[in-house]
Structure 1
Amino acid sequence: MCGIIAARVSDDASPYLLDGLERLEYRGYDSAGIAVRTASGRTETIRSVSRVGDLRTLVAARSGDALTGIGIGHTRWATHGAVREANAHPHADCGGRVSVVHNGIVENADELRATLERQGHVFRSDVDSEVIAHLVERALAVDPDLMLAVQIATAQLEGSWAIVVLDARDGRMVVAADRSPLVVARSARGDFVASDIGAIAEWCETFVALRDGDVVELSEAWTWSSGGVTVPVPFPTPSPFAAAALDLGDHPDHMAKEIEEQPAVVSSILERVARRAVDGSMWIGLGLPGFHRLAVVACGTSLNAGHVIATALRGIGGVPTDIVVASEADQVVLGPGTLVVAISQSGETADVLRALDRFDDRHPVLALTNNLHSSLARRADAVLDCHAGPEVGVAATKTFTAQVVVGVAAMISAMVASGRIGTARAAALVAELSELPARVEHAAPVAADRIPLLVANVRKASGFLFLGRGQGLAYAAEGALKLKELSYRWAEAYPAGELKHGPLALVDEGTPVVVVDHGEHRMQANIAEVRARGGFVITIGGEGSDIPALAGRATGGLTWGASTAPWGPLEAVVPLQMLARELALQLGCDVDKPRNLAKSVTVE
């Protein structure tokens, strides 16, 4: 959660900070602020409890000293303290010399705050982050070296942090990270810091990701320390994408753009992995031992993708699986021979990382992430890249699809490598995967034609049920999650057979019930049960459905209809995403930035 940006450039830093914050706003948008060193050697701080666009207006309206090229910025997702200007970052020390932006949670903030207050420090906010500014201030009173002061301050912290500290007196800037993402970069324009390389990709072609315990001073020559020991500056990594990939183009919002990108994403993934899935080399190249059981560890949308992958593995190879909600991993017991597949779009999901800390090292970890430079990627024994490209919309769309395709391909490859299936069976499965780009592309216009009118009939409903069976159940769960995230309406997913065991009591005249109908023969009886109670049924299925996204013909005469693939009807996710988006739009909600949520969940 939260986004950090910092710049050391030759001209005014504020345009860079504001542009970077707009690209980081998906990480949190409860408030935003910048602090820039002025020509007179002080820091000017401007904060807003609205969006970055309003902050830009405040900056444009300012007057006074000229701003220099040294500044820091932050967009907040509230954890400690209410959403008010005093709690917005950047935070300062007592004298206004030190300014700090911080992502993460300082778990011992209350104890540190009490000690600092007894020593005369005055706090202006309710947030844990402010203690860092006062810790640095206290250290500077003993030794004027800012880098040493930051090392002393972070040594007292418990929890997680990515911080940038700015000294107004001399313009020095020091960054530090531990269990929270932060990258630094240098280009012809200057030095930049960000939570996400996408925020600074327009200006920087390479970057270096901080590892846990790193403290770095950005100056003419960077000074890099790791665990308190000075080390050479790591070799930079090329940026994985261009800033243009973040532009909306002709699309009304990022979610619409990212839904539309799914066929191309799936096609690109299959070009990379199809052959290697068939011959087992995709799995062999990971260097992992064989396994007799699979445990998926994830949260939210990634957990739903993990359900699909696990279901496919059981169907393909008969391998038993466990689904672990990462935030509830404390009591989980993993059996011998278990492979842990940890799934996180950002690779920084705190609940997933903490879950892995609780597991025995005897269980190898395979990370499935869209960020090869993330904490999860460094923690895992092997990594699979989702190859989804940057995703700005807070509600995941194309990353879900990418996780499913990459994960299923890896499981097919593992089954070949272990001898559980032959290459002929694998080739048939990959041939089915190869139909997915066309299936997903077909689903979008069908859904776009039907959904607006269907949504108009249910927009006043206070709650929704989503039903699925077998391989369709995980997609029903993902549809319910999307609708909750975007429209703020209650939505629950159930196995359709569970209706008569309780949830049917929720169905009344007009209750919307969304059904993922991929041809499971018992589903029609469940639909009849709902209609008999007056429920408003919306079916996503083959020909004759309300949204016939699973029907049609591909070139070459391939008939579509009931999905019998072990991974189920992946194309059903498109109308489910579009349904949630359309309802949100008709209700006047922001589909890219739903309330109370953020993209990269770096706190537990």
Structure 2
Amino acid sequence: MCGIVGYIGHRPAYPYLIEGLKKLEYRGYDSAGIALHFGNSLKVFKKAGKVAALEELMNGLEQSTNIGIGHTRWATHGAPSDRNAHPHISRSGKLTMVHNGIIENYAALKEELLKKGYTFHSDTDSEVLLNFIEDIQLNNNCELEEAIRIALKRVTGAYVILLLSEEYPQTIFAARKGSPLVIGIGQGEHFLGSDASPMLGYTKEVVYINDYELAIIKPDELILKNLGNERLTPFVQKLDMELATIEKGGYEHFMLKEIHDQPEAIYDSLRGRLDATQHQLTLSGVDSIKDKLLAARRIIIVACGTSWHAGLLGEYLIEELCRINVEVEYASEFRYRNPVIDERDVIIAISQSGETADTLVALENAKSKGATIFGIVNVVGSSIARLSDAGAYTHAGPEIGVASTKAFTAQLAVLQLFALKLAQLKGSLDERITQELMQELSEVPQKVQHILDTQIDIIKKIASKYKDARDFLFLGRGYNFPIALEGALKLKEVSYIHAEGYPAAEMKHGPIALVDEQLPVVFVATKDRVHEKIVSNMQEIKARGGKLITIVTEDDHTASSLSDDCVQIPKAHEIIAPLLSTIPLQLLAYYIGIERGADVDKPRNLAKSVTVE
């Protein structure tokens, strides 16, 4: 959440900053601002609302400078407003700063500064940090670089900061801990961003800044140090992302584009790893920790939100195929409950961004106790990727829509590969079944495309029919239970309709009290070993007047005959079917959101990359 951009070089800074902020809008925000360095003076412009409001504010104002920083804020300390928007200005007016993250001990620092006569013009922890840096510089009569280092050693929490100073007209100071920062390297210029999307089209060379690192950035020089003032060598990487991958490509919304991207995204997640014709699985990350996996007493999957739903399906897959105990934990709870972990545990971390704060801290805790970390992330060079002992990128490509779609199915595909590969290593699965599952997995991209080609008009009609419903219930059994949970989450995220997901058998232990003629109940009811049981659950809802919307396997006349509305998906093994059954639920959420006039790409109050607690 929040977005940061910066530029220093030979071209006008403002166009890069404003376009960069627009490219980062998907991360979620409620205000935006820019600071520009004019010779020996700093000017700050900020506005609550969308980046477009900031752009309108700056129309006709002086912009001709080659150095600047920008920010989109997702409110934590203080309500969304002009005064709480970033950048902030220090008491002297000689420093300005943008900040992502949360300074947990800001209240104690603020009290200390108030006693020294400081006043504050916002409710933010960020303004406290800025003035704390300035106070250290003044009291210690030291260089700004040293003051930043001293300050960051005293603060607790997460941060990325970009700082400008009147005294240093050709320098941007930057530092990070727990929140992402990328620096792009050009010819006599540098580009900064919370991720690489703002610098696409400008450079192919980037440096991912690590925790506890301080960068001093000039037009033709990047100096990297740790907080102990030791010089570090920047590790320059090639950026393989293309500008076209984050454009809408003719679709009305990023969410719709990314739903339609899924055949390609799933194929890319399997490409080079699965050769069904030769019955070969290649997953180098698994091979690199083979001994740890074979000796593991259990696997613990940690994740948040949609990634947690992927992890829940992963639990079912790994236990079924590999016969090893698996636990799935919300990272936000796992990190605080002092879990029992040691070197015999393998932790699988799942995160689209690779920067999810709760997951990252949970991993640091687990790693300190000797556990082996396997990361499943989408963003190359992200914090979780670097922290992991091994892992597998999902290769879903940039996902701009806040509500995850293609990243989720790519995670499921990688978990399928992981479970099959580990089963091969353990010898826990009959080879004939392994080959059958590999073949079916290789056919998923075509089957997803078939759903997109044949079911959208049906789903549009269902969305129009139920757009005014106040509540939804999503039910599934076995492998389809996590998909029911994900379907409910998608609907909540993009339509703001209250929705709950349950195991279908649990419905009679409470939720059935909600059922009446007004309640749409979505059953994920594909053909599997418990199909007869879920049909019985459907009859229980039908008998009480509930409206049945079902996701069924083609030619399943029993389930479809009970349904008020029905979406069909191709036949697939029950282990593979969740990759297909989630597609109609994504489309249903999208089209209901559109019918209700919601901003499906940027739902209210949500952020794409949750880098605060």
**Which runs of 5 or more residues in structure 1 are unaligned?**
552-559
- The answer as to 2:325 corresponding to 1:325 is no
Tell me the amino acid that sits aligned with residue 130 of structure 1: E
Instruction: Report if aligned partners of 1:278, 1:423 keep a CA contact under 8 Å in 2.
Output: no
Q: Distance in 2 between matches of 1:296 and 1:113?
A: 39
Q: Distance in 2 between matches of 1:536 and 1:148?
A: 65
- Which SS does the other structure have where 1:522 is aligned? helix
Tell me the amino acid that sits aligned with residue 245 of structure 2: A
Q: CA RMSD in A?
A: 1.9
Shifted more, 507-516 versus 221-230: the winner is 221-230
Q: Distance in 1 between matches of 2:473 and 2:429?
A: 38
- Which SS does the other structure have where 1:590 is aligned? coil
* Alpha-carbon shift at residue 223 of structure 1 (Å): 1.8
* Alpha-carbon shift at residue 168 of structure 1 (Å): 2.7
Deviations 1:45-68 (A, max 9, x none): 111111112211212243xx5531
Match of 1:579 in 2: 588
Instruction: Report if aligned partners of 2:4, 2:70 keep a CA contact under 8 Å in 1.
Output: yes
Match of 2:168 in 1: 170
Match of 1:133 in 2: 130
* Alpha-carbon shift at residue 293 of structure 1 (Å): 2.3
Q: Distance in 2 between matches of 1:283 and 1:345?
A: 18
2:87 to 80, 87, 90: 90
* Alpha-carbon shift at residue 284 of structure 1 (Å): 4.8
* Alpha-carbon shift at residue 198 of structure 1 (Å): 1.6
Tell me the amino acid that sits aligned with residue 166 of structure 2: A
Instruction: Report if aligned partners of 2:413, 2:579 keep a CA contact under 8 Å in 1.
Output: no
Instruction: Report if aligned partners of 2:440, 2:576 keep a CA contact under 8 Å in 1.
Output: no
* Alpha-carbon shift at residue 511 of structure 1 (Å): 0.5
Q: Distance in 2 between matches of 1:516 and 1:334?
A: 35
- Which SS does the other structure have where 2:34 is aligned? strand
Q: Distance in 2 between matches of 1:106 and 1:282?
A: 38
Deviations 1:238-294 (A, max 9, x none): 113012211112010100110000001111222221049835654553334123422
- The answer as to 2:214 corresponding to 1:215 is yes
- Which SS does the other structure have where 1:32 is aligned? strand
- The answer as to 2:522 corresponding to 1:514 is yes
Deviations 1:143-162 (A, max 9, x none): 36222222122122111111
- Which SS does the other structure have where 1:11 is aligned? coil
* Alpha-carbon shift at residue 422 of structure 1 (Å): 5.2
- Which SS does the other structure have where 1:37 is aligned? strand
Match of 1:78 in 2: 75
- The answer as to 2:68 corresponding to 1:36 is no
- Which SS does the other structure have where 1:188 is aligned? coil
Tell me the amino acid that sits aligned with residue 42 of structure 1: S
Tell me the amino acid that sits aligned with residue 37 of structure 1: H
**Which runs of 5 or more residues in structure 2 are unaligned?**
none
Q: Distance in 1 between matches of 2:351 and 2:404?
A: 11
Give the percent of matched residue pairs that are identical in Structure 1 and Structure 2. 38
Instruction: Report if aligned partners of 1:479, 1:573 keep a CA contact under 8 Å in 2.
Output: yes
- Which SS does the other structure have where 1:411 is aligned? helix
Q: Distance in 1 between matches of 2:289 and 2:36?
A: 48
Match of 1:487 in 2: 495
Q: Distance in 2 between matches of 1:415 and 1:186?
A: 44
Q: Distance in 2 between matches of 1:177 and 1:592?
A: 28
Match of 1:591 in 2: 600
Deviations 1:521-562 (A, max 9, x none): 2111111111221111111112354343313xxxxxxxx2xx
Match of 1:298 in 2: 303
Tell me the amino acid that sits aligned with residue 348 of structure 2: V
* Alpha-carbon shift at residue 420 of structure 1 (Å): 2.1
* Alpha-carbon shift at residue 28 of structure 1 (Å): 2.2
Change (3 A) 1:284 1:576: closer
1:286 to 285, 288, 306: 288
* Alpha-carbon shift at residue 189 of structure 1 (Å): 6.5
* Alpha-carbon shift at residue 306 of structure 1 (Å): 0.8
1:472 to 464, 480, 496: 480
Match of 1:343 in 2: 350
Match of 1:22 in 2: 22
Q: Distance in 2 between matches of 1:307 and 1:61?
A: 53
Instruction: Report if aligned partners of 1:89, 1:100 keep a CA contact under 8 Å in 2.
Output: yes
Instruction: Report if aligned partners of 1:280, 1:417 keep a CA contact under 8 Å in 2.
Output: no
1:161 to 159, 162, 167: 159
Aligned residues: 591
- The answer as to 2:324 corresponding to 1:316 is no
Instruction: Report if aligned partners of 2:285, 2:390 keep a CA contact under 8 Å in 1.
Output: no
Instruction: Report if aligned partners of 2:215, 2:223 keep a CA contact under 8 Å in 1.
Output: yes
Q: Distance in 2 between matches of 1:281 and 1:261?
A: 23
* Alpha-carbon shift at residue 479 of structure 1 (Å): 0.4
Change (3 A) 1:279 1:271: closer
- The answer as to 2:454 corresponding to 1:443 is no
* Alpha-carbon shift at residue 13 of structure 1 (Å): 0.9
- The answer as to 2:101 corresponding to 1:104 is yes
* Alpha-carbon shift at residue 24 of structure 1 (Å): 0.9
Match of 2:569 in 1: 550
- Which SS does the other structure have where 1:241 is aligned? coil
TM-score (norm 1): 0.94
Match of 2:511 in 1: 503
* Alpha-carbon shift at residue 296 of structure 1 (Å): 1.0
Q: Distance in 1 between matches of 2:478 and 2:289?
A: 32
* Alpha-carbon shift at residue 365 of structure 1 (Å): 1.2
1:535 to 546, 557, 560: 546
2:434 to 426, 437, 440: 426
TM-score (norm 2): 0.93
